[in-house]
């Protein structure tokens, strides 16, 4: 997997900023090749431009089908030689054209401990359900909504006086740690996906060939 990231956003872009900061601070060895938003007014586009990154808006409106929009995204990503696609608050379902173009190379961050509370308003769902812990999950994107193999999770307590906002901001702190960490793990290689499990280290294809080479 090459180290060129394509980051897809729809709004604020704080997870994008966390990736930018991690790269700047040397915690993540990667380059952001392009930031794309389906909304022209996404705050995250400004954050990207402030960081000197290419930032483009590509509206989802006006395409004959969802697949046509996905194909347009793929063209933009491919033309910039992107190796890993990071969804960071991208409020669109991504379909087969994008997933097939980047197999095991589209990831997302979600503000709950999946498989609990997929979909929108995950923090409200956790609070309303009465969960005593929630958190953040970085996972591969598959056709199942928020249902792909899990790469990194971080746990956050739900406090009795929490509001949706206070819980969301506590989770966000962990999101900003978890996303760069997960991207670094992926770029490092030496992992595989076995069924639903993201497996690292010994036993991976890379480790096996290294062992074979040293035997
Ligand atoms: C985050 O809570 C992320 O987990 C969810 O959407 C939100 C995006 O926030 N998928 P930001 O745009 O990264 O600030």
State the average pLDDT over residues 107-123.
98
State the average pLDDT over residues 20-35.
98
Q: Is the pLDDT of residue 202 over 70?
A: no
Q: Which atom of ligand 1 is nearest to the CA of 87?
A: 10
Among 170, 172, 177, the mutation site with the greatest number of ligand 1 atoms within 8 A of its Cβ is 172
Alpha-carbon distances, residue 180 vs 14, 43, 124, 166, 206 (angstroms) = 12, 20, 25, 23, 22
Q: Is 15 a pocket residue for ligand 1 (Cβ < 6 Å)?
A: yes
Mean pLDDT, the chain, rounded, equals 94
DSSP state of 185: H
**Cβ partners under 8 Å of residue 27, min gap 6:** 180, 184
What's the 180 CA to ligand 1 centre distance in angstroms? 14
Q: Is the pLDDT of residue 186 over 80?
A: yes
Evaluated on CA atoms 105, 54, 22, 4, the torsion sign reads positive
Q: Is 86 a pocket residue for ligand 1 (Cβ < 6 Å)?
A: no
- pTM (whole model) above 0.95: no
**What does the block give as tokens for 8?**
């897809």
Question: pLDDT (tens digit, 9 = 90+) per residue, 157-178?
Answer: 999 999 999 999 999 999 999 9
């Amino acid at each position: 997997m090459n180290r060129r990231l394509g980051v897809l956003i729809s709004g604020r872009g704080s997870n994008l900023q966390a990736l930018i900061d991690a790269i700047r601070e040397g915690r993540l060895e990667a380059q952001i090749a392009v930031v794309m938003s389906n909304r022209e007014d996404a705050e995250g586009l400004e954050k990207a431009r402030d960081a000197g990154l290419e930032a483009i808006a590509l509206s989802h409106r006006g395409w004959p089908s969802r697949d046509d929009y996905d194909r347009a995204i793929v063209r933009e990503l491919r033309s910039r030689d992107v190796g890993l696609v990071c969804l960071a608050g991208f409020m669109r379902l991504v379909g087969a054209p994008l997933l097939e173009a980047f197999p095991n190379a589209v990831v997302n961050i979600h503000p709950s401990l999946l498989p609990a509370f997929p979909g929108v308003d995950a923090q409200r769902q956790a609070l309303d359900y009465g969960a005593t812990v929630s958190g953040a999950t970085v996972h591969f994107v598959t056709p199942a909504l928020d249902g792909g193999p899990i790469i990194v999770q971080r746990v956050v307590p739900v406090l009795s006086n929490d509001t949706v906002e206070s819980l969301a901001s506590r989770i966000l702190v962990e999101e900003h740690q978890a996303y760069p960490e997960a991207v670094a793990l992926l770029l490092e290689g030496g992992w595989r996906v076995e069924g639903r499990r993201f497996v690292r280290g010994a036993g991976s294809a890379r480790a096996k060939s290294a062992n074979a080479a040293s035997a």
